[in-house]
């Protein structure tokens, strides 16, 4: 038993082990985004926010969702900490890059993983502060999530907040584009027949999901300026 846990600890301390953990946590986060987007699409309903508020209230009070949230936080922490460790190791062992060191000429998407990851982290801190912390810590009992989202995407940061979101979604798209296929590679799932399809699926995912999120602040801006 002690032997097995020693072997696991040893494996995790190697770059291969860390890459596998990075891939697994990344794939877990990839499953979270479509679920989060599906809920957020309720913001498009022209019901004054009734459906979105009912959904958000369920999300912020259900015990099951609380348990899933802890898993989500762990997933993010593992991904972020592993990302920092791998980036530092890769820098120390230059010129081998995050893509696994197959080529010195790594793609733009591969080289930008650490930079886009860092900006996404900053985005997440701002995002959770604006919504989750506002409703749970600063204003407990305030369950009007729709009004918060609406206000932030209409006049937040003097009109800059919605465009900050659009920019963040562009960076998330770049991050996902490489991350999706790279996760399968790190897990050793390379196949002559399936890898091109995984790449295509990754490309589709990295366009459709961020576009869906970006459509929300754009929608509120268009409505605010009476364009739609
Ligand atoms: C227009 C885009 C988005 C909107 C309107 C939105 C809305 C929200 C709202 C209202 C909450 C609070 C839920 C609660 O506390 O119960 C929330 C939480 C959260 N969002 Fe977003 N979100 C968007 C995009 C994103 C993106 C792109 C990510 C990931 C990169 C993300 C990750 C999270 C996380 C991790 C939480 C905290 C988890 C939780 O409280 O359940 N969101 N979001």
Task: Say which CATH number the domain at 31 has.
Answer: 1.20.1300.10
Domain membership of residue 12 (yes or no) is no
If you take atom 20 of ligand 1, which residue's CA is the nearest one? 128
Q: Which of 131, 142, 165, 221 to mutate to test the pocket of ligand 1 (most atoms within 8 A of CB)?
A: 131
> Do residues 214 and 222 touch, judged by C-beta distance below 8 A?
no
Ranking 16-30, 40-54, 86-100 by mean pLDDT, the lowest is 86-100
In ligand 1, the atom with minimum distance to the C-alpha of 56 is 16
Q: Which residues of 66-104 are buried (b: 16+ CB within 10 A; e: fewer)?
A: eeeeeeeeebbebbbebbeebbeebeeeeebbbbbeeee
Domain membership of residue 5 (yes or no) is no
Domain membership of residue 105 (yes or no) is yes
Task: Give the distance (Å) from ligand 1 centre to CA of residue 101.
Answer: 34
In ligand 1, the atom with minimum distance to the C-alpha of 43 is 5
Read off the pLDDT band of 107 (50, 70, 90): confident
Q: What is the pLDDT of residue 166?
A: 98
Model pTM score = 0.90
Domain membership of residue 84 (yes or no) is yes
Ligand 1 neighbourhood includes 128 CB (under 6 angstroms): yes
- The CA angle 212-215-217, to the nearest 5 degrees, is 130
Domain count, the chain: 1
Q: What is the pLDDT of residue 151?
A: 98
Domain membership of residue 6 (yes or no) is no
Q: What is the pLDDT of residue 98?
A: 52
Domain membership of residue 148 (yes or no) is yes
Mean pLDDT computed over 111-129: 96
- Tell me the per-residue pLDDT of 168-189, one tens digit each, with 9 for 90 and over: 999 999 999 999 999 999 999 8
Domain membership of residue 30 (yes or no) is yes
Q: What is the pLDDT of residue 5?
A: 59
Ligand 1 neighbourhood includes 161 CB (under 6 angstroms): no
Mean pLDDT computed over 59-82: 94
* Structural domain span for residue 194: 18-224
C-alpha 57/C-alpha 50 separation (Å) is 11
Domain membership of residue 36 (yes or no) is yes
């Amino acid at each position: 038993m002690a032997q097995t846990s020693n072997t696991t600890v040893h494996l995790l301390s190697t770059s291969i082990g860390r890459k596998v953990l990075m891939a697994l946590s990344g794939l877990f986060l990839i499953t979270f985004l479509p679920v989060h987007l599906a809920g957020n699409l309720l913001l498009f309903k022209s019901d004054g926010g009734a459906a979105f508020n009912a959904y958000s209230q369920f999300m912020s009070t259900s015990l099951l969702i609380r348990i899933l949230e802890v898993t989500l936080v762990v997933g993010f922490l593992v991904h972020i900490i592993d990302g920092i460790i791998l980036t530092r190791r890769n820098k120390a062992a230059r010129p081998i890059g995050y893509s696994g060191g197959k080529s010195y000429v790594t793609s733009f998407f591969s080289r930008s993983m650490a930079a886009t990851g860092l900006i996404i982290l900053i985005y997440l801190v701002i995002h959770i502060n604006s919504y989750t912390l506002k409703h749970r810590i600063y204003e407990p009992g305030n369950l009007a999530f729709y009004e918060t989202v609406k206000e932030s995407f209409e006049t937040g940061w003097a009109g800059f907040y919605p465009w900050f979101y659009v920019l963040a979604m562009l960076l998330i798209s770049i991050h996902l584009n490489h991350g999706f296929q790279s996760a399968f590679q790190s897990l050793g799932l390379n196949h002559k027949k399936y890898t091109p399809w995984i790449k295509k699926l990754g490309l589709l995912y990295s366009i459709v999901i961020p576009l869906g999120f970006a459509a929300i602040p754009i929608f509120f801006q268009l409505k605010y300026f009476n364009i739609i």
